[in-house]
Amino acid sequence: MSAVEKQAVSQSEGGSRRLILDTAARLLRSGGYHQTTLREIAEAVGIRKASLYYHFASKEEIVEAVVNDGVRFVHEAVVAALAATESAAPRKRLEAAIGAHLTALHGNSDYTSASIKVFTFGENPAPESVRGVRRVYEDVWRGLIAELQAAGTLSARRSPDALRLFLLGALNGSIDWYRPGRFDVAALAAEFTALIAHGEQGDAALFDADASSASR
């Protein structure tokens, strides 16, 4: 079976849905909702625009699928990072969660950054499914922040809501300035953790590695 035949088969077998979403995610990441057209998506995929309607009912449905997948992606990454540091120091868990969030945003997948881009510049009220998926992810941070405030890693005197909104805002804001090479994600996660976490004296070792690369 030739590569062309294989592609034809894989498309007819349903892989084309994923291919459409991958492409849409990439275009939405850089162009946002209105700048991204169905024609662009179709052309990049290699089909006709009308054929998109064989897989999806509307542009909104495509965008919604990308946005939800993007939130689920970062959600799973952060949950995994917390599971992997289950018995580590609270501060390490925070750093791991921040690192996972930043990696989801700036790694190889376009879904999460597309999600932020589209949602942030959300002209229309986000569909209910999007708000639900997002809230579930935010709950992970609510839980983590409560844990860290109880442990004293984050000040118990601060509003948990303000903490979460401030931190997630700062992390998501990195899509506007983050460029690989200027910062690397691990160094950035360590910097951001140190910015809001107590017990700075504990990060002397981190600092040597951090600051030199993060202020490069």
Partner DNA sequence: CCTACCGATCGGTAGG
Kindly state the smallest distance separating residue 5's Cβ from DNA, in Å: 13
* Cβ 193 vs Cβ 91: under 8 Å: yes
Interface with DNA, residue 54, by CB under 7 A: yes
> Sign of dihedral through CA atoms 67, 184, 159, 92?
positive
CA distances from 129 to 32, 52, 69, 125, 136 (A): 19, 21, 11, 11, 11
Please report, as residue ranges, which positions from 87 to 146 form the binding site for a second copy (by CB under 8 A): 117, 119-123
* CB of 37 or CB of 120, closer to DNA: 37
Kindly state the smallest distance separating residue 85's Cβ from a second copy, in Å: 22
Interface with DNA, residue 193, by CB under 7 A: no
* CB of 38 or CB of 47, closer to a second copy: 38
For 33-47, letters b (16+ CB in 10 Å) and e give beebebeebbeebeb
Kindly state the smallest distance separating residue 39's Cβ from a second copy, in Å: 15
Residues 6+ apart with CB under 8 A from 73: 104, 109, 111, 112
Please list the residues that pair with 180 across neighbouring strands. Answer: 183
Q: Which of 31, 49, 107, 127 binds DNA (CB under 7 A)?
A: 49
- Return the range that interacts with DNA (CB under 7 A); candidates 30-38, 77-85, 161-169, 207-215: 30-38
Residues 6+ apart with CB under 8 A from 25: 66, 69, 70, 109, 110, 111, 114
DSSP state of 125: P
Q: How many residues bind DNA (CB under 7 A)?
A: 21
Q: Which of 48, 92, 158, 182 binds DNA (CB under 7 A)?
A: 48
* CB of 50 or CB of 205, closer to DNA: 50
Q: Which of 30, 37, 155, 215 binds DNA (CB under 7 A)?
A: 37
Kindly state the smallest distance separating residue 19's Cβ from DNA, in Å: 7
Binding site for DNA (CB under 7 A): 11-12, 16, 36-40, 45, 47-51, 53-55, 57-60
Note the residues at the interface with a second copy (CB under 8 A): 30-35, 117, 119-123, 155, 157-163, 165-174, 176-177, 183, 188, 191-192, 194-196, 200, 207, 210-211, 214-215
